Amino acid sequence: MGMARGVVGLAHMRGPLVAGFMWGAFALASVHLRDTHGVFLLVWLPSAVAVASLYVTPEKRWPPLLAALAVAQFTTFLLVDLSALASLAFTVADQVEAVICAVLGLRVLGGRGKTPRSFAHIGGLFAAALLGCMAGALIALPFRGEPSFAELAWWFLASVLGVLAATPILLRARQWLGFGDQTVRFMQDNPQRGFPLTVAAMFALGVGVLESPAAGLLPVLFVAIVFAVIRFGQLAAACAVLAYAAAGALVSFYRGNAAPILAADPAIAGLVLQALMLLMLATALPIAAMLLTRERLAQQLRAQNAQLHDNLTMLNLAEQLAGLGRWRLDLATGQQEWSPQMLALNGLPRDLAPDPGNISELLPDGGERLFSELAAHRDDRRPYCFEYSTALPTGEERTLRIHVTNEFDPTGERQALFAVAMDVTEQVLRETALRKAREQAVALAAEAQKLALTDPLTGIANRRATLDWLGRLVRASGQVGEPLALLMFDIDYFKRINDCFGHQTGDEVLERVAKLARAQVRSDDLVGRIGGEEFVCILPGLDAHAARALAERLCRAIAEGSEQGGLPRITVSVGLALARPGDTPESLLARADAALYEAKDGGRNQVRRAA
């Protein structure tokens, strides 16, 4: 574990060490060129090293990075014969400058992983560089040998140009240099073939223009950098400025003046050239930002067009596979847009797409169903659907289901219809067949239920239904105290009828008795057959007197009406029982049955009440 931590620590320190070494190397090389060879430094590259290092390093690891840079900066200033106090002041100035530029720049971009994508980003980075470099220049100014406006201006301009021009290039090159987070990008430009040659040409152009005696050639440098930006993007602006800076340094090496074309004191000429280069960046970078924005919008448009093409392709395939058709009607212009599949669904030739005109005459009903539904739903804000019929060229009639959405303008007026239709003929046929089958099944179930509860000979309740109904009424009578009467009767000497007249006549007698019994009871009463010739009448709500009167009527009606239709005359014996508290269906039946046998023992064709 300790070895692993050590390896991670070394990996984290590699970036700060590389950044400190680079800062010192660039600074010593720059001072050497200035002091030994008289080169005018238009760009201070160490500032770019510090800012680039901060850009690609997570903020929580800035302390070791800043410490490494501080050591390199302080040591370098001591090596070039500055006092300890001046070295410390310059170190603080460089640190403040780098931190301000990096912090403000990251805030402008929105994070380390972001790249400049708009004019606002370019302007924000430009302002961050100006503020940071001005702060550093002001801190360092009192500790320079002879503080002056020229000294302040040189520090400020050289640092600004370094931050704005060299930082993007260093961020591009950090994979080779090995510092910072290798996944962080800064510019999205991807220079094409010919970019190095263009930079070299701009260096040569810079040398030629700066040495030229014609001051009117300076605008050529502006034009060249603009063309480079248009051709290659933001990175070209940074490389062009560095190329011009290198050209100025070269010219100052052998001419003692970075811009002889200006015919001014070398220090003043250098400052003017720096200001012009800063103006070039201020001109070129917004152009690059606008081009980048245009390119990004063009890419988005191309991507959207490609996606739209793919979506339309998939939509057409889906229409063909699913049998769907699209239709849109612009109510303002009357223009229609029919998909080929929509025309085919309506029995119209596909080649009529996209606008077949008035199709009313081509529909079976003249379009009455279709257009009347559309008119009825003209104010609907939610999608709606309905079905209508159409005819194919073969004469076959098909059913279409159409889903419609109304489109409204901001004032609430319906301005267009959008619809999707599909052929549901087979589905409608299946649903119709299913509905008929369901109705038939329900009817069969009802018939089966009826057969399960009905005596097939007489059509009245069978034993099962009778006993079930009696059980519910006995429980209800016990709960609410309502009277309940039960009549049990059977046909006197029924066996003689079967023996003398045959079983067919016996069945007809049973049917006749059931019919006469139903005629004597109320609609809420139940008449059931519980045995061969045994019947029951369940009479809820009747007291003893009323139940006795009904039983007597029943007995007389059967005796007087049984001979109709050529049937033999019959009589019945009736047992009457009234429900008592604590009765069960079985106990009530038993008492009625006992009363029935008392009636038979007493001579038949009479009513007896249970005790």
Backbone phi and psi for residue 85, each to the nearest 5 degrees, phi listed first = -65, -45
User: In this structure, is the dihedral angle defined by the CA atoms of residues 531, 534, 539 and 540, taken in order, positive or negative?
Assistant: negative
Q: Is 387 a catalytic residue?
A: no
* Residue 406 near residue 381, CB atoms below 8 Å: yes
DSSP 250-297: HHHHHHS-S-GGG-S-HHHHHHHHHHHHHHHHHHHHHHHHHHHHHHHH
* Residue 23 near residue 47, CB atoms below 8 Å: no
Closest CA to 489 of 556, 432, 430: 556
Order of strands, sheet of 414-423, starting from the edge strand that comes earlier in the sequence = 336-338, 324-330, 414-423, 397-408, 384-391
Residue 336's H or E segment, with its range, is strand 336-338
* Residue 286 near residue 119, CB atoms below 8 Å: yes
Closest CA to 46 of 94, 93, 87, 117: 94
User: In this structure, is the dihedral angle defined by the CA atoms of residues 361, 366, 372 and 374, taken in order, positive or negative?
Assistant: negative
Beta bridge partners of 329: 336, 417
C-alpha Rg value of the chain to the nearest Å: 54
Closest CA to 554 of 498, 485, 500: 485
Please report, to the nearest 10 degrees, the dihedral formed by the alpha carbons of residues 308, 314, 319, 325 taken in order: 0
The single residue listed with the structure tokens 């961050």 is 128
* Residue 194 near residue 206, CB atoms below 8 Å: no
Closest CA to 171 of 59, 51, 64, 58: 51
Gap between the Cα atoms of 210 and 259, Å rounded: 5
| Cα 440 to chain centroid, rounded | 45
What amino acid occupies position 141? L
Count of residues for the chain? Answer: 611
Gap between the Cα atoms of 521 and 515, Å rounded: 11
Gap between the Cα atoms of 332 and 352, Å rounded: 21
Backbone phi and psi for residue 324, each to the nearest 5 degrees, phi listed first = -100, 150
Gap between the Cα atoms of 12 and 15, Å rounded: 6
Cα 256 to Cα 161, 314, 575, distances in angstroms: 21, 70, 145
Closest CA to 53 of 97, 98, 10: 98
Out of 151, 426, 533, 598, pick the active-site residue. 533
Annotated catalytic residues are 533
